Structure 1
């Protein structure tokens, strides 16, 4: 999930409670809130203004699935029970900013969840069954966005799919939930180690090595293209249909290979038992 700088500044004042839209959070409570979502901070001497700290955290986690959790957790309905702030009015005000980035908060059951302009965004931390069918379904959603003219959305979703697949592979291998810093290259490095994808010239022919090196480029390029295709970079780069299609098709190649590699490694382990 990626938002513009103006929305970041708005959320800086909003999430800490400075503008009265959400319940007030003290400095220690803010630190605990962000630590629970993956930050590595401590409250103490020299701590910046609450709004400034909040703004920095939102900016740090921008263009990652963690930002989605930050916003959703900030509007937990239970936090409104003991105050005089009307949750519906606050959600309406927040959505006035989010809509310019293609997102909005909608009530799902008792809680508010982030949706994009076409429906729910990809949930990188909630892949319940990693399979080729899952990948095909997500790629199809990306192509639907391309055909509707939402090129940036297609690129964002393709990057989220790659992130989802990598997180699932890592968490399955480690047997626990990981803290995701939103950096795709870091996830890919861990996945390569887990799947034994190190390039060994003594084992692999040069042609295969070339292709594997290309996958490294896809991962880095996907992260970079996603970072540069948002509204805050509009003056530098205007995303076109063929750029979005390149991103989506390259992502499909990458994640299909990672899934096949995972299945191959699993087969080797099972066969040795």
Structure 2
């Protein structure tokens, strides 16, 4: 008898309702008296379709229910054996940027960890009687038999292409239009980090330190020989040397002015045209790095 994929255990309406944000477990209150729901981020039908495209499934938004879209995405990820990647994506702190924007660094981390702990515990309450659990192994979320040991190393996102870059950039620009500059900055910074990690993994290497933009860029430059040289036109070399400045600026802006770190002493205010420049710079940089990877690896 063929063994059942353990991730199929999550393919129930009860658990899907948790993962797509339909089910909440009360509220979490901050010190200033404000509160948020203890729940996964709410995923609209359109958002689920966008997530599906990110993982390689081109779902067109029509008139299906959100549960149907999500179930189709689960089925696809089960077939491609990338369901752990989907879980890791859904539980990532970046997904909570809308509800946690505006709070301090410590408040964001505390609230995020509280929500994840509650949600994971509720899912495990459903899985318990089958002898399985949702666990965190490294940076990945996996389903495993209770008390078993699993070691995995897989990329969070299987494929990054220009359509993905355009999609994220478009969503970031939508945030700019709505004056949600914090979210736009976070999306842009995350896009660059994902592209860096992706092209590094395409060289069959592990990212030096996920989250450190400057180290990741240095690794990309080394792996793809992106150093200026005398045989390259001076104007091209000038452009290439400017890439480092872009990465440094984006990395520092994320630390000082994004929704990942909330309001602090070093936080600065930006105008809409600054936010547009930020998003467009990140998109241009991401597209260029992807082009470098495509050219280099097509010659292997």
- Tell me the TM-score range normalised by the shorter chain: 0.5 to 0.7
Match for 2:239 among 184, 195, 211? Answer: 211
Q: Secondary structure at the match of 1:115?
A: helix
Offset at 1:164?
Answer: 0.4
Distance 1:213 1:150, change over 3 A: same
Cα deviations across residues 27-77 of structure 1 (Å, max 9, x unaligned)?
xxxxxxxxxxxxxxxxxxxxxxxxxxxxxxxxxxxxxxxxxxxxxxxxxx9
Offset at 1:171?
Answer: 1.7
Match for 1:184 among 201, 213, 224? Answer: 213
Conserved 8 A contact 2:25-2:39:
no
Distance 1:107 1:158, change over 3 A: closer
Contiguous gaps of at least 5 residues in structure 2: 1-14, 16-23, 43-69, 71-86, 101-154
CA distance in 1, matches of 2:224, 2:204: 12
CA distance in 2, matches of 1:166, 1:188: 7
Offset at 1:101?
Answer: 11
Match in the other structure for 1:226: 254
Conserved 8 A contact 2:207-2:216:
no
CA distance in 2, matches of 1:101, 1:258: 40
CA distance in 2, matches of 1:188, 1:236: 24
Match in the other structure for 2:198: 168
Conserved 8 A contact 2:214-2:248:
yes
Contiguous gaps of at least 5 residues in structure 1: 1-76, 78-86, 120-124
Distance 1:145 1:261, change over 3 A: same
Conserved 8 A contact 1:102-1:117:
no
Q: Number of residues paired by the alignment?
A: 174
Conserved 8 A contact 1:215-1:254:
yes
Offset at 1:174?
Answer: 2.1
Conserved 8 A contact 1:103-1:116:
no
Distance 1:179 1:235, change over 3 A: closer
Distance 1:140 1:268, change over 3 A: same
CA distance in 2, matches of 1:211, 1:242: 22
